[in-house]
Structure 1
Amino acid sequence: MTAAQLKPTLGTLHLWGIAVGLVISGEYFGWSYGWGVAGTLGFLVTALVVAVMYTCFIFSFTELTTSIPHAGGPFAYSLRAFGPTGGMIAGLATLIEFVFAPPAIAMAIGAYLNVQYPSLDPRWAAVGAYAIFMTLNILGVSIAATFELIVTVLAVAELLVFMGVVAPGFSFSNFVLNGWAGSDTFGSAAITGIFAAIPYAIWFFLAIEGAAMAAEEAKDPKRTIPRAYIAGILTLVTLAIGVMVFAGGVGDWRELSGINDPLPQAMKAVVGNDSTWLHMLVWIGLFGLVASFHGIIMGYSRQFFALARAGYLPAGLAKLSRFQTPHRAILAGGVIGIAAIFSDGIVNLQGMSLTAAMITMAVFGAIVMYIMSMLSLFRLRKIEPNLERTFRAPGYPIVPAIALVLAIVCLIAMIWFNGTLALVFLGLMTIGFVYFRLTGHQRQAAIPDSLLSQP
């Protein structure tokens, strides 16, 4: 008897669409919260450092993805490198990242629709988005990935249109005015702001690693994944810096900090409230949010599926539908996400909005997973020197070491500035560890998977 397997149907373009689509909502919203704590110039420094971390990380992470093309992604790498406890830490951190990101994106979808329909409650629009895109994911990965590619291409095009339309109204003096927190270049307030803004800079790139969870469904993953990842990170770095700079230079950037629809509001300052361009941005701009929302649902479902298949979660979550998709895993993440949406007003953590809190929780999961992944890379190089590596991290060991060190710095800063949410994250990890300790029989009963153990 063999473990349930996902069918390989995805090519390079599909994987690029997934990698960029998972992330591209971060260019549409979320990042502007960073302006509120660091200013435009302080946040630009944060974003550039984080871009370096992600570039080094992706070039290193690709070695793991191509060597161990598994739906569990970081869970599979850490399990193979460090055994069950390491797999549990990486798998649960990844799950937290991918389960807490969608509610933030869903609320942004609601905010964008609210621009067109002021009477529409953003929370119910968010629930509707969950219903639509969970259904699409259940209907089949090929359909879902093709849809993801289409909306991603439209979202990228729309960001380029945004930059072109607002360019005539751009002024560098607007961007730099009050650009440092505390209005003090590299003073204590400015430095504090640079570190406090880390989660919002990470939001620019958060979840690109999720394409690894589609590796089991990729055709010729050892060739297609490196191409998709490298093209993806270059696409995202270019768009992130471009959108942030253009949006910050069209007026008073402080009016855009801390809102869920900064691009439509920035465009209003240039073209007015009734412009066709503005309405186009709202409608087509939804594609960016939809691309990430839809892609992350695909990502969290594969993580639930992989953990359940290996005995780390209840086996029922590894069941496949008649469309060969993990439908129970898709629904499980949706239930958690919808509950988070309606926790607004009930839970008030550190005075943050719900969106900011969800972003920060997702980033905690991501950073822990990045650290585990880079540690796994180093350990697998040591204990499995003969593992087939069709793609090797360039500049090893320096490039992965840069990613690891910057990730550790980010985690320390996250804990320092988000103590309450750090405790919530630790509580969730602790609950997961207790469950892990109590359910050893599930892992013993799980069907062996050759990719999860050393040969």
Structure 2
Amino acid sequence: MKAESKGQHVGKVTHHELKQTLGTWQLWGIAVGLVISGEYFGWSYGWASAGTLGFVITALFIAAMYTTFIFSFTELTTSIPHAGGPFAYARQAFGPTGGYIAGAATLVEFVFAPPAIALAIGAYLHVQFPALEPKHAAMGAYLIFMALNIVGVQIAAAFELCVTLLAIFELLVFMGVVSPGFELSNFTKGGWSGADHFSLGSFSGMFAAIPFAIWFFLAIEGVAMAAEEAKDPKRSIPIAYIAGILTLVALAIGVMVFAGAAGDWTKLANINDPLPQAMKFIVGANSGWMHMLVWLGLFGLVASFHGIILGYSRQIFALARAGYLPEWLSKVHPRFKTPHRAIIAGGVVGIAAIYSDELIQFGGQTLTANIVTMSVFGAIVMYIISMMSLFKLRRTQPGMERPFRAPLFPLFPAFALVTAVISLGTMVYFNFLVAVVFAIFLALGYVYFLSTRRQRAVAPVDALLED
């Protein structure tokens, strides 16, 4: 088993190497940019289940989970700075099977998040150009940003930092523009699952809304997949992670409260562009502010879309390099030194998801809601096995170099683990059909995993995972 996890060849070959070019600010830009589209759309579906007040409680619960998770996850990222991220940590802790579970779950998270974001980009563009089919615009976004990621990680990261800063600025502008119409009574009216008072139904709605609260923060852990391309990962990644989660928590609370207090929040609960529609309550449909929000709002969506393409490509690359996926997916471009085949492969799956209404739109949920939920299932499973890996490695490898140690250990990782398990259980209960599809994906992948043991045995040794 140990031989399988390490391979039989010594050293690395050049077509499996990534360039180390990323600094602290660029990593912070990736951390926030990966997630910031979650402030623009997706979360408002949680209002349909929990109401505004119920969703506040759900969001704070999930924010606590993410805060403790990131402080704990950073220990793993700095100890094992590997493009596979969670896959590498679980493989070191639990062997090849653990690596498969973490890698497959992360792949589902990062491959299914971009189509949801691309559909939101299409919805925003449709506001400006009603004749433009949102799905076609979403496919166009894929083609453009796949190409940008192929050109080079430094260019991609610089672009990510710029659009992330613009996205943050735009969210602050949104809050400023709607603030004159801020009425707390708008936010609290029917705030408990459509009622003015808490009930058992409100409690159920808060649990049902968990996937959409997770969407506020989903994919911040993707910075781990850029660890091999960081100049000084042991110093820069902790700064990027901690500053990133604090930035995102502040923005999530601000956007949610200001949007809900601007008017009738029930009109925002099941749409892909809640912020422009919230601004309509204050400035009208033809205001220059409205048009500015739509255009600037694209920066937030683009930041996450572009960043997650970077994340899924590194995950595919790392899994292929270790023999968990076909080896040809691990090749890097001879000129740009980027995993171009992995970028294209993930894009093909995402574009297929965009045009698969009949396959993905089921269980009474919209296409976007089901894609979001599928991505969240992958994330939660990955969070669970990552925290289990942290505990296992603390016990079995106490001498491992740990440049950053999880604070308040074991309380922080234990809280993150328990809340993730609770989240997974409630998600299965409220989204059973999506859970079945997710389980089928993992089962099919496991069959491939069992049939490719020799492929992993001859994969190049990963120097970062050597004893």
Q: Report the TM-score range of the alignment, normalised by the length of the smaller protein.
A: over 0.9
Q: Where does residue 6 of structure 2 map in the other structure?
A: none
Deviation at 1:348, TM superposition (A): 2.7
1:201 aligns with one of 213, 218, 224: 213
2:381 aligns with one of 344, 365, 368: 368
Distance 1:451 1:421 in 2: 36
Deviation at 1:181, TM superposition (A): 1.1
8 Å CA contact retained: 2:360, 2:370 = no
Q: Where does residue 158 of structure 2 map in the other structure?
A: 146
Distance 2:318 2:359 in 1: 33
1:177 aligns with one of 189, 195, 218: 189
Q: Where does residue 219 of structure 1 map in the other structure?
A: 231
1:292 aligns with one of 293, 297, 304: 304
1:2 aligns with one of 5, 12, 16: 12
8 Å CA contact retained: 1:36, 1:258 = yes
1:82 aligns with one of 70, 89, 94: 94
Structure 2 counterparts to residues 62-141 of structure 1, below 5 A:
62-141=74-153
Q: Where does residue 392 of structure 1 map in the other structure?
A: 405
Q: Where does residue 235 of structure 1 map in the other structure?
A: 247
Identity %: 69
8 Å CA contact retained: 1:26, 1:206 = yes
AA of the residue aligned to 1:169: G
AA of the residue aligned to 2:292: M
8 Å CA contact retained: 2:188, 2:196 = no
Q: Where does residue 278 of structure 2 map in the other structure?
A: 266
Question: Relative to structure 2, which stretch is displaced further, 177-186 or 206-215?
Answer: 177-186
Deviation at 1:186, TM superposition (A): 3.4
Distance 1:253 1:389 in 2: 46
Secondary structure of the 1:251 match is: coil
Distance 1:87 1:111 in 2: 37
Q: Where does residue 60 of structure 1 map in the other structure?
A: 72
Distance 2:354 2:194 in 1: 33
Deviation at 1:344, TM superposition (A): 1.4
AA of the residue aligned to 1:328: R
Structure 2 counterparts to residues 414-433 of structure 1, below 5 A:
414-433=427-446
Secondary structure of the 1:258 match is: coil
Over residues 104-140 of structure 1, what are the superposed CA-to-partner deviations in whole Å (9 max), with x where a residue is unaligned? 0000000000000011000000000000000000000
Distance 1:83 1:346 in 2: 34
Over residues 344-364 of structure 1, what are the superposed CA-to-partner deviations in whole Å (9 max), with x where a residue is unaligned? 145432111110000000000
Q: Where does residue 329 of structure 1 map in the other structure?
A: 342
Distance 1:345 1:33 in 2: 20
Q: Where does residue 403 of structure 1 map in the other structure?
A: 416
AA of the residue aligned to 1:232: G
Distance 1:49 1:184 in 2: 21
Distance 2:359 2:368 in 1: 14
AA of the residue aligned to 2:119: M
Deviation at 1:5, TM superposition (A): 1.6
AA of the residue aligned to 1:445: V
Distance 1:146 1:302 in 2: 17
8 Å CA contact retained: 2:12, 2:463 = no
Distance 2:101 2:369 in 1: 24
Over residues 386-409 of structure 1, what are the superposed CA-to-partner deviations in whole Å (9 max), with x where a residue is unaligned? 111110000000011000000000
Q: Does 1:48 align with 2:78?
A: no
Secondary structure of the 2:298 match is: helix
8 Å CA contact retained: 1:76, 1:451 = no
Deviation at 1:26, TM superposition (A): 0.2
8 Å CA contact retained: 2:103, 2:319 = yes
Secondary structure of the 1:181 match is: coil
Deviation at 1:182, TM superposition (A): 4.9
Q: Does 1:37 align with 2:80?
A: no
Secondary structure of the 2:357 match is: coil
8 Å CA contact retained: 2:124, 2:298 = yes
Q: Where does residue 435 of structure 1 map in the other structure?
A: 448
Q: Where does residue 369 of structure 2 map in the other structure?
A: 356
Normalising by the residue count of structure 1, what TM-score does the alignment of the two structures yield? Answer: 0.99
Distance 1:310 1:380 in 2: 20
Q: Where does residue 159 of structure 1 map in the other structure?
A: 171
8 Å CA contact retained: 1:8, 1:216 = yes
Distance 2:203 2:359 in 1: 33
Secondary structure of the 1:328 match is: helix
Over residues 182-222 of structure 1, what are the superposed CA-to-partner deviations in whole Å (9 max), with x where a residue is unaligned? 51633110000000000000000000000100000001100
Distance 1:115 1:224 in 2: 39
Unaligned runs of 5+ in 1: none
Q: Does 1:446 align with 2:459?
A: yes
Distance 1:348 1:149 in 2: 34
Distance 1:118 1:320 in 2: 40
Distance 1:378 1:451 in 2: 20
Over residues 329-374 of structure 1, what are the superposed CA-to-partner deviations in whole Å (9 max), with x where a residue is unaligned? 0000000000000001454321111100000000000000000100
Unaligned runs of 5+ in 2: 1-10
Distance 2:328 2:377 in 1: 27
Deviation at 1:451, TM superposition (A): 2.2
Q: Does 1:244 align with 2:256?
A: yes
Structure 1 runs of 4+ aligned residues shifted over 3 Å read none
Distance 1:158 1:261 in 2: 14
Q: Where does residue 309 of structure 1 map in the other structure?
A: 321
Distance 1:52 1:281 in 2: 30
AA of the residue aligned to 1:301: S
8 Å CA contact retained: 1:26, 1:204 = yes
Distance 2:385 2:455 in 1: 24
Distance 2:283 2:421 in 1: 43
Distance 1:450 1:87 in 2: 16
AA of the residue aligned to 2:369: A
8 Å CA contact retained: 2:146, 2:347 = yes
